[in-house]
Structure 1
Amino acid sequence: MKRFIVIVLLLSIFLFPLEAIALSMPCSMVLKPNEPDHLKNAMGSALIYKVQLNPPSFARTNISILAVHLPDPAFFGDYDRYEGFAYIPEEISWRFTLYPTPEDDAPTWAGRIGLITAEMKNVFVQVRLSNSITNKLGPSVLSNSIESCM
């Protein structure tokens, strides 16, 4: 009987690896440039983990993003900031502002969202351009999927 249970567990890990990854938290991933030739030094990271908010309630998922060596958003057109954007295709998406640090030359952009209740399966995380006046979300400049979580 023990052998059967071990075999079933091993098979489930090898046959359904995405489910194993989705349940493995905390996790971190590297956010890579979508156009590496134009953003040679740009890179980011995302940390995904469970948080317990006050007053005590059920745990929610937090996504924190840090992005470095990005050009000024205006470099790409009518944009004035970057946003974190995470989504499960054809199901749900979340967007949140990334704030620049006060460095003069290429600030670090960082932000987080901590109220996610969806299961973290098949999630994609991006840093995207944004216009704060029109609320227009622009294209992604850095991205990766939860499958790359370590």
Structure 2
Amino acid sequence: MFRQLPRIPRNCPPAFLGRYTVQSGDTFFTIAQMFRVRIEGLSVNNPHIQDPNLLFPGDVLCVPGLIPYPCSIILKPQVRVPFGTSGVAYVNFAPRGGQAISFMATLPSPATFGNFDMYTGEILIPAIGGYGNQLFPTPEDPPTWSSRVELPTVVTITPNSRAVIRPSNSFTGISGPIILEAVIRSSSCQPQQ
């Protein structure tokens, strides 16, 4: 039986640095809808697909994104933290289109940093603003805290965006200092080959 080898771009244009692997049933139309881009824009930025009406599962398309993703970055401590405190942020496609950033970190109790009872993970995008969500702990000691922030489809994570985790007080709404942080750069997120 003949099986089509996946068609993978050598590189992607600057505004199309994200990559999407075609799934069974995908069309240029459905992928364009998912990423809120015109079909013509998707087609012209994927010259390795000669016929846009013919996609195969496993084909890889360049999709809108100013940083290559999926992308994982290590969050670095910004204040004195207990031994073993660490975290990562993962930028990927959101389940309903657009982008999402997931946070996962091994952290001490938020009270370690003052009058705080929870953590938040935030993506701070230059010239746009911040989006965040509460992190939730696992039962281990110390727990692993995690959450996902889904961005509106009109928002794109740009270079120099900052992924941060900070403690917060759920009653007063006061946020504490940034505990872990990473700056997202194109060079820190290389496309998958």
5+ long unaligned stretches in structure 2:
1-10, 18-64
Distance 1:25 1:135, change over 3 A: same
Q: How far 1:19 sits from its partner (Å)?
A: 8.8
Matching residue of 2:118 = 81
Q: How far 1:134 sits from its partner (Å)?
A: 1.2
The one-letter code matched in structure 1 to 2:189 is: C
Contact 1:82/1:130, CA 8 A, preserved across alignment: yes
Matching residue of 2:67 = 23
- Counterparts of 1:143 and 1:19, CA distance in 2: 25
- Counterparts of 1:19 and 1:73, CA distance in 2: 38
Q: Which moved more, 1:132-141 or 1:37-46?
A: 37-46
Contact 1:33/1:39, CA 8 A, preserved across alignment: no
Q: How far 1:71 sits from its partner (Å)?
A: 1.6
Taking only aligned residues, the RMSD between alpha carbons, in angstroms, comes to 2.5
Question: Which is higher, the Rg of structure 1 or of structure 2?
Answer: 2
- Counterparts of 1:72 and 1:100, CA distance in 2: 10
* TM-score (norm. length: structure 1): 0.75
5+ long unaligned stretches in structure 1:
1-9, 54-58
**Secondary structure at the residue paired with 1:39?**
coil
Matching residue of 2:78 = 34
**Secondary structure at the residue paired with 1:74?**
helix
Contact 2:131/2:151, CA 8 A, preserved across alignment: no
Point out which structure has higher relative CO (alpha carbons under 8 A, 6+ apart). 1
**Secondary structure at the residue paired with 2:177?**
strand
- Counterparts of 1:38 and 1:115, CA distance in 2: 29
The one-letter code matched in structure 2 to 1:40 is: F
Q: How far 1:146 sits from its partner (Å)?
A: 1.0
1:94-113 matches, cutoff 5 A: 94-103=131-140, 105-113=141-149
- Counterparts of 1:52 and 1:66, CA distance in 2: 18
Distance 1:32 1:19, change over 3 A: farther
> Which of structure 1's runs of 4+ aligned residues deviate more than 4 A?
18-21
| 1:16-64 per-position Cα deviation (integer Å, ceiling 9, x unaligned) | 8x996833111110011113x53332110111012241xxxxx211110
- Counterparts of 1:139 and 1:22, CA distance in 2: 28
1:5-20 matches, cutoff 5 A: none
**Alignment counterpart, residue 179 of structure 2, candidates 124, 130, 141:** 141
**Alignment counterpart, residue 115 of structure 1, candidates 151, 156, 161:** 151
The one-letter code matched in structure 1 to 2:150 is: G
Between Structure 1 and Structure 2, which shows a larger proportion of strand residues?
Answer: 1
- How many correspondences in the alignment? 129
Matching residue of 1:62 = 100
